[in-house]
Structure 1
């Protein structure tokens, strides 16, 4: 009778490592289910796709042990006297650590830690910072516009916002095109970068799938973990087109926009091309629309005589993160003092009602209006002088150091270790588990 009461609230499951049955209580099952329910929506939408052999999962919550290990081994170290602010590398560190290790590879870690990739991710954060502001503003105006007549002046204001989004989208297009062409330090990861000059399409497809997922995650973390379905939908639309977006065909309810809002959000450069020859909207932006070449040179060349708009964007895209908050430019969590954030870059809570995030003084991304100076003469060439804001040697050193750490992390399959004795015990344990699985598979094959 005692055994019946003891094994009443639970189920029996098969333990493949111990080769026997194991009892699991319902309390433990409910605890695991509650933890899984707090996972990111990315895992549900991406892992449910068909015809893709990559199943990506992510956790947004970490226990105290995992946070302590991350802080000790993998968090970017700040030297004494340096300004401790959140950087793009910090966001990437959290994104990698909260991902499933089996979804990552050593090649992707090296690919993810390149200067071109950092510029692309920062451009995406800037774009979505402004994109979400416009989206939230449109949601507030929906109820008002349903009861009022549409004024002709509204179209002029919407065209201005449409052009602002197009300019920010063109910056993403510039940095994404550098990845597609394999420029600078991403050349070795290009699908044609091999001795035989053959296209490694399968490897390139896997890198692209993981890159799409990690891009959504980095932007989501950098923008304080808000509007995840909208971020995922727009990112897949930009990089894949709506024809091949798995989000559109997943059946999950998505944020919808009216025809006027779609005109504003997609821009005038978007064209519906033939399905198999359809270029992604992010590449269409730089092909079919005219953008100020001075803006496209931000971070590369020093444009003399630039107006307020160009200088504002120059700080947002190219300046070190510690100058963002000082300049009053909001780019998500970038530039925020790390004392306001916890280990995984969430705002710290100082009480049950007041959050310290209210002390960050982060405003909106207020893009200055576009002004055409008749005295400015456009040139066919860019100046030779490099941009005033350049990547520092410390930033490059931190990127290389973090890349080395994360490669070791992926190579060890995410198992924490503190000394060499732990490493040998982990390798022995892994070898014994693999050998036991092979023996079990052989026995099952003989039985069949």
Structure 2
């Protein structure tokens, strides 16, 4: 009777509401009859989270059984058993400390804009770690080799790819900041932006969401290189000056980068203004003086006219169905892989990891304070034996420049809905945890 302990009964997932047919999804959906104020009445901490927020990662077998029975996403008939972004969110919500959870955070995590945002962030961080490793190898090789003009061409491609992936994150983040589309009800000035700014509430929501995003990205990337992920996410959202993670860890990692590494990993849209005028690198990417394909700004929301292979890759990565990833050659961490090769907490099963445990070398978790003298070929072969998923290979940019049309497209994309069932599960769990009696 393990599932009856600690968190009480399962409660009514479908209590206080009614069923209705949804024409957009062609299925029955549950609609709550409770007023929104009743759910929002659950109070959240009065201050934005500061310092290290520890998620549990030592879930015992009893808790895993409880999670699998109560909270794990259930498959529909005929649905392939692959890992989705919802599965990763579920693990993050289950292991999060209760004091950072709130009804609003759960609702924000279950809207299409946030899902596209999370996917774009996973794609960006995965490619960042991949290129960081590649640049580390190139810097080591430069100790014994001569730099050639071709090296500049390759590194320029890396830099442009990273800039474009940061732009995918920035466009969704901008929508959240201005309260556009499905995020308007979460805006700190209200859906109509007419009331006084609730800046403290806004700070709590976004600081908590940012920490939740770091955890989701880390889980999606196979629990690798947590500090690097946290440092990079904090940098792109808050800038180098206000990088709270760097202030806490004191790695001084940017100063330790070689000139070529800085050029590639930070990009050429970095602006160093006075503190009060500092913009985050994400906003700098949006307003950067470089060629940007305007169609990227509407990916996943507006139908793209004559998309290139590169745009199609990005579109499917941030807004496509996860079950098509393997057929389309899209890599997004462990998302899209068979769930049967992972345990309940999305750790790879021993039979699925092959050579894991045979090699102690790991480039992605390398220290910034020292450089390995091991040859890059040996390090790469060791890394391949441990990888849970292949590297990202982005299609190259179209040589033709997309001209601005006489009229911008406005036909909306078919936006897949988030799981209402999972959202209600996590809301009900939070209510039971905060009000056990």
TM-score (norm 2): 0.77
Map 1:377-392 → 2, pairs under 5 A: 377-387=403-413, 390-392=414-416
Task: Note closer, same or farther for the CA distance 1:347–1:380 as it changes in structure 2 (3 Å cut).
Answer: farther
- Report Cα offsets for 1:201-243 as digits up to 9, x if no partner: 1111111111111111110000111111110001000111111
In the alignment, which residue of structure 2 is the partner of 1:332? 333
Structure 2 residues not aligned, in runs of 5+: 1-46, 357-383
C-alpha distance in structure 2 between counterparts of 1:254 and 1:67, whole Å: 38
Aligned equivalent of 2:157, options 154, 157, 160: 160
Equivalent residues of 2:353, 2:388 under 8 A apart: no
Given that 1:336 and 1:360 are in contact with CA atoms closer than 8 Å, whether structure 2 keeps it comes out as no
Q: 1:304, CA displacement in angstroms? A: 3.0
Query: 1:305 aligns to what?
Result: 306
The CA deviation at 1:258 is: 1.5
Instruction: Give the conservation status (yes or no) of the 8 Å contact 2:218–2:229.
Output: yes
CA distance in 2, matches of 1:196, 1:298: 29
CA distance in 1, matches of 2:110, 2:48: 28
CA 52–405 in structure 1, closer or farther in 2 if over 3 Å, else same: closer
Greater percentage in helix: 1
Give the whole-Å Cα distance in 1 for the aligned partners of 2:203 and 2:55. 20
Alignment root-mean-square deviation, CA: 2.6
Measured after TM superposition, the shift of residue 308 of structure 1 is 1.9
Q: Bigger CA drift: 259-268 or 290-299?
A: 290-299
Counterpart-to-counterpart distance in 2, 1:352 and 1:319: 27
What are the equivalent positions in structure 2 for 1:395-410 lying under 5 Å apart? 395-396=417-418, 398=419, 400-410=420-430
Instruction: Name the SS for the 1:102 alignment partner.
Output: helix
User: Residue by residue, what CA displacement relative to the aligned partner does 1:359-400 show, whole Å, maximum 9, x if unpaired?
Assistant: 9984221111112227x643153324333xx333xx43x2x1
1:50-65 map, 5 Å: 56-65=53-62
Counterpart Cα distance in 2 of 1:360 and 1:315: 23
2:288 maps to: 288
1:237 counterpart residue number: 235
CA–CA separation in structure 2 for the residues paired with 1:352 and 1:270: 39
- Cα 1:182/1:316, change in 2 over 3 Å: same
Q: Quick one: structure 1 residues 300 and 323, their matched pair in 2 at CA, closer, same or farther if it must change by over 3 Å?
A: same
| Aligned twin of 2:133 | 136
In structure 2, distance between residues paired with 1:156 and 1:234: 24
**CA distance change for structure 1 residues 53 and 142 in 2, over 3 Å: closer, same or farther?**
closer
- TM-score w.r.t. structure 1 length? 0.75
Pick closer, same or farther for the CA change 1:360–1:157 going to 2, 3 Å: closer
Structure 1 residue 105: deviation in Å?
1.4
Contact 1:329-1:364 within 8 A present in 2 as well: no
For residue 72 of structure 2, what is the aligned residue in structure 1?
75
Gaps of 5+ in 1: 1-49, 415-422, 428-448
Tell me the CA shift for residue 91 of structure 1.
0.6
The residue that corresponds to 1:366 in the other structure is 393
Where does residue 185 of structure 1 map in the other structure? 182
Distance 2:114 2:347 in 1: 23
Q: Note closer, same or farther for the CA distance 1:230–1:351 as it changes in structure 2 (3 Å cut).
A: closer
| Structure 1 residues 253 and 377: CA distance shift in structure 2, 3 A | closer
- Inter-partner Cα distance in structure 2 for 1:92 and 1:175: 18
Residue equivalent to 1:279: 279
**What is the rounded CA distance, in whole Å, between the counterparts of 1:319 and 1:216 in structure 2?**
22
- Assess, with a 3 A threshold, how the Cα gap between structure 1 residues 55 and 162 changes in structure 2: closer, same or farther: closer
Residue 151 of structure 1 deviates from its aligned partner by 2.0
Q: Tell me, what secondary structure is at the counterpart of 2:247?
A: coil
Question: What is aligned with 1:317?
Answer: 318
Q: Which has the higher contact order (CA 8 A, sep 6+)?
A: 2
**Divergent runs of 4+, >4 A:** 50-55, 351-355, 357-361
Describe the shift of the 1:344–1:385 C-alpha distance in structure 2 as closer, same or farther (beyond 3 A).
Answer: same
Q: CA separation in 2, counterparts of 1:162 and 1:330? A: 19
> CA 1:145–1:215 in 2, change beyond 3 Å: closer, same or farther?
same
Q: Which moved more, 1:358-367 or 1:163-172?
A: 358-367
Counterpart CA distance in 2 for 1:323 and 1:124 is: 19
Corresponding position of 1:431: none
Q: 1:203 is matched with which residue?
A: 201
SS in structure 2 at match of 1:247: helix
Kindly tell me: are residues 122 and 352 of structure 1, through their superposed partners in 2, closer, same or farther at Cα, counting changes over 3 Å?
closer
CA distance in 2, matches of 1:143, 1:385: 49
**Residue 122 of structure 2, aligned match among 110, 121, 125:** 125
Q: How far apart are residue 142 of structure 1 and its match?
A: 2.5
Measure the CA separation in 1 of the matches of 2:190 and 2:227.
35
**What displacement does 1:317 show?**
2.0
Matches within 5 A, 1:222-233: 222-233=220-231
